Chains A and B, each alone.
Chain A
Amino acid sequence: MVQAEFFLSKIYNIAYYKSLLLSIIIILTLVSISIYAVMSMPYDVAVKTWNSIEHWEDSPRLALPSWVNFFVSAKLPETIVLDSRQRLGQIEKSTLYIDEMKNITFRASFEYSYEEFPSEIVLRLYVYNVVKSGVIFVYWAKPSGDVIELTRIAVDRSGSYLYYISLDRSLVERYVIRVESKLGRSPDYVMTPEIALFVKEDESMMSRSTVKALKGRYIFLISAIFFEKNAEMDFKLNIYGKVHGMFGTDDRRRDIALAIIWGTPLALSFGLTASLLITFAQMLIAAVCAWFGGVLDMAVQRLTEITMIIPFLPMLIMIAIFYKLDIWTLLLIIIALYTFSGGLKWYRSLFLSLKEAPYIEAARAYGASNARIILRYMIPRIIPTVIPTLVSSVPSFVFLEAALAILGVGGGLKVAPSWGRVLDDAVSAGALYKGYYHWIVFPSIMLVLTSIAFTLLGFTLDKVLNPRLREV
């Protein structure tokens, strides 16, 4: 009962600090994100997904977060996918047999209600059971009724065919000629296939600043002729938008949300593992050194001085590059190097004064063994002063991981979707220079939030547990 009261008073003490409330809210959020991440996707799946190309086929490149649309007047388009295999979108299929020939026609339509143009358009064709040749015609009809012939594709075998509409310069050339004959002059900027396919054909299209997309129902037509009766065909049309998900995408179409969510458990586990193991290793080694002294103490102290003199980060980079280590092996090296650092000396100095305490002498008198004195008498005594340090050192390891990632250390081909990795990709793609701020900002916010939370928690615990800082 006395204990309960004691505990309650401690909790009251802690609740007294508002900063603690904030830090606990942030940490709980981070922890629940971590739990969600691990529950929804195991680590290896996350790594595989993050590094796959097929998985991100349907998302746009360098898209902004979806919620940007709440703040802009001209809405940015979402991605539209028409897929005959999965019956995505309004698709009608008709088949016609003429002698030995087979004609397959897809008529797909979709509603486009944005003034902004899509970012990319890609058509994928999947042809089955074809050994002779065939030809596929692709048409595009605007809501105004204008029909554009996009291309003709000759096929001579089964497989998938990619028609990257966004890169079709001839399409633009043909379209500009058509516009010239219709409106009398050509636009004063370089048109892209996306603009050509979606533009509203009036005076506004002549200038880059006024050009707008035509809203309404678009029709997409594929007509294929094969010289085999059992030939089959499917298609997928991706009209990539300019917004995607909560956090946007990077230049490999990857959803940054995956890295934000899976980066949380990675950052927390990296930071917590490092600081917990380092602190306890330091405490144990320091206690053993202080208690036994002699040659062991001497050796450990000299080793510590050597590692303190060697610059930590260059040493780490050198090891990581020489041995091509992944991030978890690197973590072990960090722990080993960091254990023999200034902290060890600090703990040792605490233990040196502590080992002369009367109660330790008393413990020796009733025959407590060395191990018992170290584990039951010395280490528990300094834990209250150690916990704040432990908590405050978590962010430095989270940042260390990010720093190593940005320096390109501890990777290999399969890299984990950590915040630092995203920042590394962003920096090497020149994200800040090109204005892809979302790519940099969200992982940075996560890093900063994590460090603020642990730092505030550490400070508050220090105030509560350290008698010299206790507020009255």
Chain B
Amino acid sequence: MRDLLVTSNLYLYYRTMRGLVKAVDDISFSLHKGETLAIIGESGCGKSSLAKAILRLLPRNTGLYKGSIFLENEDIAKLEESEFRKKVLWKKIAIVPQASMNALNPVLKIVDQVIEPLTVDGEVTRDVAEKNAVELFKYIGIPVEFLHRYPFELSGGMRQRVCIAMALIANPSIVILDEPTSALDVLTQANIMNLLKQLKKERNLSYIFITHDIALSSELADNVGVMYAGKLVEVSPADEFFNEPKHPYAKLLLSSVPVIRKESKLSTIPGTPPSLINPPPGCRFHPRCPYAVEKCRKEEPPIINIGSSITIRCWLYG
């Protein structure tokens, strides 16, 4: 398997009145063709910012944005804005946005909305785009007559499917799923997950699956990345991760997930997530880490490789 997407030393800081928010801080990972990388972590740890950084959807108060993103060995971070928009956005990397219940323009009909990514540049005619949309809807299993309805006439699950269809309309090879099922009930969630699995298999898609639902991530993930306070603290293959996570934070995170058949007390991680403006020195997790040693408080752990497939930022393995 060759690497489809490689990011190295990616930074995205936001400017605020109180200082720089280090939302994405020196993140490196790679994604293979047809593979799913699940990014898990608490709320506010920078997961969505990572998605924004990859897609270059920078807000106005961006303080620092640097790093390289290699897509098929081309550094897309170096592309001109217009070229990036024309070549990469949606054509190569698409996103199913967070809160996709509200991600549809309420005054556009579904059909106009779904073909927007194709027609914004005026490269594809409306007729062709509409034909694509009809095919895609049939493929995904959305009734074709929904194309001529408005978003408010659709249920949450259907709107989610529409968002997925919209992400797929330009045939991207990577889809970023930003908490795609967060607002849905469990049955609809299961349906959407099955749809995503099917799409992955049939279209050989690569996903970056951003979620805080660890159980859900196990459904889809090939690799799991754990984010903590803007840092990617562990990336492991899913099998190994769910059997035996390496990083102390990942361990505590997994033990806080309830297991249905075992009678066990649910553990929590003491303390609160650190401020991203003034993160703790050294390892950012050390104030809450039960294994913390003196070194953790002073020096930031580097990226450490364990075996061929696990990378980790923790002094315990250094």
Contacts and interface: CB of A to CB of B under 8 A. Distances in A.
Nearest to B108: A376
A359 B85 CA distance: 18
Contacts of A368: 116, 120
B186 interface: no
B149 interface: yes
A424 B90 CA distance: 65
Interface stretch (B23-31, B96-104, B134-142): B96-104
Given A2-B148, A359-B103, A377-B105, A369 B120 contact: yes
B106 A359 contact: yes
A366 B116 contact: yes
Contact of A359 (B94, B104, B145): B104
Interface string B180-199: 00000000000000000000
B57 interface: yes
Interface residues of B, number: 30
B117 interface: yes
B43 to A, nearest CB: 17
Given A359-B102, A380-B107, A365 B121 contact: no
B308 to A, nearest CB: 34
Contacts of A366: 89-90, 94, 116-117, 120, 166
Contacts of B106: 359, 381
Nearest to B106: A381
A364 B57 contact: yes
Contacts of B116: 363, 366, 368
A369 B100 CA distance: 21
A293 interface: yes
B95 A365 contact: yes
B89 A365 contact: yes
B55 interface: yes
A359 B95 contact: no
Interface in B74-111: 85-86, 89-90, 94-95, 97-100, 102-108
B60 interface: yes
Contact of A3 (B120, B148, B166): B148
A372 interface: yes
A2 B104 contact: no
A303 interface: no
Interface residues of A, number: 21
A388 to B, nearest CB: 17
B153 interface: yes
Interface in B119-145: 120-121, 145
A369 B86 CA distance: 11
Contacts of B97: 358, 361-362, 365
A5 to B, nearest CB: 11
B104 to A, nearest CB: 6
Interface string B138-175: 00000001001100010000000001001000000000
Nearest to A361: B97
A8 interface: no
A365 B55 contact: yes
Given A2-B153, A362-B103, A365-B95, A293 B60 contact: yes
A362 B178 CA distance: 12
Nearest to A364: B57
A435 interface: no
Contact of A367 (B89, B104, B108): B89
Contacts of B145: 2
Contacts of B102: 357-359
B97 to A, nearest CB: 5
B105 A363 contact: yes
Contacts of A376: 105, 108
Determine which residue in A3, A359, A366 has the highest number of CB atoms from chain B within 10 A of its CB, and name it: A366
B104 A372 contact: no
Contacts of A363: 105, 116
A321 B100 CA distance: 57
Given A366-B117, A367-B117, A377-B105, A361 B60 contact: no
Contacts of B108: 376
Contacts of A364: 57
Nearest to A382: B107
Contacts of B163: 362
A9 to B, nearest CB: 12
A369 B81 CA distance: 11
Given A365-B97, A367-B89, A376-B108, 6 more contacts: A2-B149, A359-B105, A361-B97, A364-B57, A365-B89, A367-B117
A-B pairs, top 4 by smallest CB distance, nearest first, are: A366-B117, A367-B85, A358-B102, A362-B103
18 contacts: A2-B148, A3-B148, A293-B60, A357-B102, A358-B97, A358-B102, A362-B95, A362-B100, A362-B103, A365-B89, A365-B94, A365-B95, A365-B97, A366-B89, A366-B90, A366-B116, A366-B117, A367-B117
